Every structure is written in C-alpha cells, then in structure tokens.
Amino acid sequence: MSSSAGAAADALTYEQSPLTIDSLPRELAPGLFGVRFALPFALDHVNVWMIADDDGWTLIDAGLADQRTRDRWQELASFMAARPVRRVLATHFHPDHMGLAGWWCERSGAELWTSRTEWLQARALALDTSEGFVAAGRQFDHRAGLSVEQADERAARGNLYRPRVSVPPASFRNVREGDRLTLGGARWQVLIGRGHAPEMLCLYCADRKLLIAADQVLPRISPNVGVWPGEPEADPLAEFLASLAVLRQLPDDCLVLPSHGQPFRGLHTRIDQLVDHHRLRLAATLDACRDRATIVEVMPKLFERQLDRHQIGFALGETLAHLNLLVGQGTIIRSLDDDGRLRFQTR
Ligand SMILES: [Zn+2]
C-alpha cells in the first residue's frame, strides 16, 4: 500500500534528476515514459512507467482502481492510441500499483506479468470475503494491545484491499529473480525487493543505467516495512535490509526511477540513509523493551507524531517488524500473556 513518512529529509545528499515526473507523460529514455497519477492518501501520487514496444505498450504498474485513475487513463488514450496495451508488469500487489492491472487486462487483452508471490497475494486478497480475514485482524489488534473499541472499529472496515483493486486475472506470466526481459528494445535484469512487499519486481537496465526501483528505494520517505495479520511472526525488516544490500551492488550513478517521488541519482547514499533510519529505530525499539511492553506501548517511541486511523495500521505493523527482527536475533523475548496481549522484553 502506501509508505510511511520517515527518514529525515534534511540530510539529502543524493540529487534529484532534472527529469521530473508529472501528470503528462514524459520521455525519460528512448520509448520509456513516466507519468504521475494522483492518490487520495497522505502519499498523494504514484508514478507509472510506460514502455513503447513494436507490438504495443508495456505498462509498469497501473495505478489505483478508483474513478479518478480510470478517467486519467481515458485522458491518456490519444497519447497511447498508436499502440495497444500488450502487457501490464505489476511490480507488487499493493493497490496503487496492481489496482487497475486486472481492468487493463480485461479491456485490452493485455497479459499480467508479475512475480508469483505478488500475483498470489493480490488474487487472495482481492477475492477474500471470509469472516476469517476479519477475525485474524481482530486477533492481531488485540495481541498488539489495542482496546476492544479500536479493534472493533478497525474490524468494521472489513477488507480494505478489495475496493481498491480490480481482480487480477486468473492467469499470469511469472517474472522471476534474474530473468532478463527485453522491453522497448532494451535489456532489463529482474531484481527482487522484499520486505515492503513479499516479492516485488525491480528492473535494472545496465546499458542505460536505469533502475526501476518500485517502492524498494524511495527518495524522502522510508518505504513502509510492516507485519500484517496474515503472517504475524514474519520478519520483513530483515528481508528488506537484505534486499537493499543486493541493490547497493548496482552502480551508484544509475538513474533511479522510484514509484513515489522524483527520479534521482545517488543510490548508495539513499540506501545508506534507509539502513541508518532502521538502525536508529531498532535501537529505540530495544530501549522501549527494557520494561515489558506491548506493541501499542512501543509504537510511540518510533512514531512521535499523532497517527490517524489509517496510519495506526501501518505504524503497528512497522513497530512489530522492528520487534520481530530483534526477536529473531535473540535480543528480546516475545511472550503471549494470559490477557491475550503479546509482550516484549530485552533479555
Ligand atoms: Zn507504492
């Protein structure tokens, strides 16, 4: 989904590229266009990439499944008219990326290209109307330390994923780590980013020194790395940091095309900032567990600002991500108490 504001913006030493992305398609490399779509969230836009191929367009992400985004695609129809949309390569299952992939596939006969885990996750969530889904969320909230009222209010929202996506197609093409794709006459290497999403696709073009980074490396904001009710003992932060270490092997002077914010150079600096950001938060998390604490009690040590209802879910998940990494390292202990709350304490 969206990403939490986090890393300080005052220490930027990476450079924004003069190639800015706006609501009109902008050619960033031969046949590769970037266009910005508005989002109705605190994170108010997402970038979509369009690659012109001989046989048609390849869209990299499709935007949120809301009327505003559909209208915007209609407005782009004349720009796109010379070619049909042949494939939608969805970087990951979050609604601002996968949202209209199914819609495009249905209306243009395009294929969906994504990783197997992102496809499975998107299909499962888009179709999940089960009571078990809500119950898992309620149990997660209770264990975290939320009140019954807060948990009820969140449960009443049901599955928020479903209304934000068109159902992804029942068949797709699996894009795997290390695959080489030829798109728009250029060769792209597939890299996988984990932690923000389970198996997110990033694409690197060595010839053009371009990195389509999806949400793995963003300028200005730290990608949300959260634990969700579906897998409460997951350790996405360890996966996220391991993925950053892999991406850091790419050349520092490549142009990074992020899904949110503007293109920039200085990949290594930005990755180092993101790693530092999590190191500081891990230290704060450890400190908060000197006395036994619930997730809700640890959360304000990591998120000092007031959080609205939408942000609480992200903040809880991100707090638990830091706790679970420390549990995995053996520096804190997790226990489930008789009151049904999880508590964490340093060893
Ligand atoms: Zn995103």
Extract the tokens encoding 175.
Answer: 């894009």
Q: How far is the CA of 46 from the centre of ligand 1 (A)?
A: 6
Cα–Cα dist 62/178, whole Å: 23
**Burial grade of 147 (CB within 10 A; 0-12, 13-18, 19 or more):** exposed
Q: How far is the CA of 97 from the centre of ligand 1 (A)?
A: 6
- Per-residue pLDDT, averaged over 24-30, amounts to 95
pLDDT the model gives residue 11: 44
DSSP string, 184-236: TTEEEEEEEE-SSSTTEEEEEETTTTEEEEETTS-SSSPPP----TTSTT--H
Q: How far is the CA of 68 from the centre of ligand 1 (A)?
A: 17
87 touches 78 (CB < 8 A): no
Residue 82 has pLDDT above 90, yes or no: no
- Per-residue pLDDT, averaged over 39-62, amounts to 95
pLDDT the model gives residue 7: 42
Q: How far is the CA of 256 from the centre of ligand 1 (A)?
A: 15
Provide the whole-model pTM. 0.94
pLDDT the model gives residue 3: 42
Place of tokens 């395009």: 110
The string of pLDDT tens digits covering residues 145-159 is: 999 999 999 999 999
DSSP string, 100-117: THHHHHHHH-PEEEE-HH
190 touches 92 (CB < 8 A): no
Residue 263 has pLDDT above 90, yes or no: yes
The string of pLDDT tens digits covering residues 290-343 is: 999 999 999 999 998 888 877 899 999 999 999 999 999 999 999 999 999 999
The string of pLDDT tens digits covering residues 175-227 is: 999 999 999 999 999 999 999 999 999 999 999 999 999 999 999 999 999 99
Q: How far is the CA of 62 from the centre of ligand 1 (A)?
A: 11
Q: How far is the CA of 330 from the centre of ligand 1 (A)?
A: 32
Q: How far is the CA of 35 from the centre of ligand 1 (A)?
A: 14
210 touches 34 (CB < 8 A): no
Cα–Cα dist 42/178, whole Å: 34
28 touches 263 (CB < 8 A): yes
Task: Label residue 123 by pLDDT band (50, 70, 90).
Answer: very high
Residue 169 amino acid letter: P
Question: pLDDT exceeding 90 applies to what percent of the chain?
Answer: 90
Extract the tokens encoding 207.
Answer: 């010839």
pLDDT the model gives residue 13: 61
Q: How far is the CA of 260 from the centre of ligand 1 (A)?
A: 7
Question: pLDDT exceeding 70 applies to what percent of the chain?
Answer: 96
Q: How far is the CA of 94 from the centre of ligand 1 (A)?
A: 7
